[in-house]
Amino acid sequence: MKILLIEDEIKVSAFIKRGLENERYIVEVAQDGIKGLEMAHYPSFDLIILDLMLPGIDGFTLLRQLREAEIHTPLLILSAKDAIEDRIHGLNLGADDYLSKPFSFGELLARVRALLRRSSTQSNNTTTIKDLKINLMTHEVFKGNEQIELTAKEYALLEFFINNANRAINRITIAEHVWRYDFDPGTNFVDVYINRLRKKIKDTGENKLIHTVRGYGYILKT
């Protein structure tokens, strides 16, 4: 799962980013409203966390423009403004939830999970493909009975394949989803990461999931 964090306070954004990355979410940060709005248009984010007081474009304006552009990525407002009118205004503009600063990371995480769960098309939290079992809530991965330890990026890569199962995905799309939205395609790091993931999930033999599509990219076959 990939989260866009639009927050100008570096201390706050570093705290949230670190915490969410520990939970194996991929987090990208925009430090002003203009950059945030631009990045929010990009389809690879599963959730947006939006501060209200931002340089460039304020959070309310950003949210309004985003919803007017028919972009309905789940969005959590995070703000020092905790007046009830601000909450109502934010929710009326199309925010999905609202959390006031200061907040505990535990509460933020619970709300993030709830929003992602609500928007998820999965009917339950666990997906099983051949002998691989993935818990989409806790991000735990099992091969048979053995738990596989994946990094945040490796997990995101696997999850992206699962969400696009049986569909060939080209390298650029993979890279844009798992890494940066404006990444430079001139490297082979996608292949490097995929080989690393294959090794970790012991993706060989008759249960092999991730197949190379020559000259294009990869496909996860169920």
Closer residue to Ca ion in complex, CB, 53/69 = 53
Contact between 137 and 124 under an 8 Å Cβ cutoff? The reply is: no
Contact between 116 and 74 under an 8 Å Cβ cutoff? The reply is: yes
| Contact flag: residue 53 with Ca ion (CB under 5 A) | yes
Within the chain, where are the H helices?
10-22, 33-40, 59-68, 84-92, 105-119, 152-163, 171-178, 189-200
Closer residue to Ca ion in complex, CB, 53/137 = 53
| Contact flag: residue 96 with Ca ion (CB under 5 A) | no
Contact between 191 and 210 under an 8 Å Cβ cutoff? The reply is: no
Closer residue to Ca ion in complex, CB, 51/159 = 51
Distant-in-sequence, close-in-space partners of 87: CB < 8 Å, separation ≥ 6: 98
Per-residue binding letters, 138-167, with Ca ion (x by CB under 5 A): ------------------------------
Closer residue to Ca ion in complex, CB, 51/203 = 51
Query: How far is residue 151's CA from residue 210's CA, in Å, rounded to a whole number?
Result: 18
Q: What is the DSSP letter of 207?
A: G
* Cis omega (within 30 of 0) for bond into 102: yes
Least separation, in Å, of the C-beta of 53 and Ca ion?
4
Burial per residue of 34-62, b for 16 or more beta-carbon CB atoms within 10 angstroms, e otherwise? ebbbebbebebbbbbbbbbebebbebbeb
| Contact flag: residue 8 with Ca ion (CB under 5 A) | yes
Per CB under 5 A, which region of 52-60, 129-137, 201-209, 210-218 contacts Ca ion? 52-60
The H or E element containing residue 71 is: none
| Contact flag: residue 91 with Ca ion (CB under 5 A) | no
| Contact flag: residue 51 with Ca ion (CB under 5 A) | yes
Closer residue to Ca ion in complex, CB, 8/176 = 8
Contact between 87 and 54 under an 8 Å Cβ cutoff? The reply is: no
Least separation, in Å, of the C-beta of 95 and Ca ion?
16
Per CB under 5 A, which region of 27-35, 45-53, 65-73, 99-107 contacts Ca ion? 45-53
Closer residue to Ca ion in complex, CB, 6/20 = 6
Least separation, in Å, of the C-beta of 168 and Ca ion?
42
Residue nearest to Ca ion (CB): 53
Least separation, in Å, of the C-beta of 43 and Ca ion?
26
Query: How far is residue 121's CA from residue 3's CA, in Å, rounded to a whole number?
Result: 17
Question: Which parts of this chain interact with Ca ion (CB under 5 A)?
Answer: 8, 51, 53
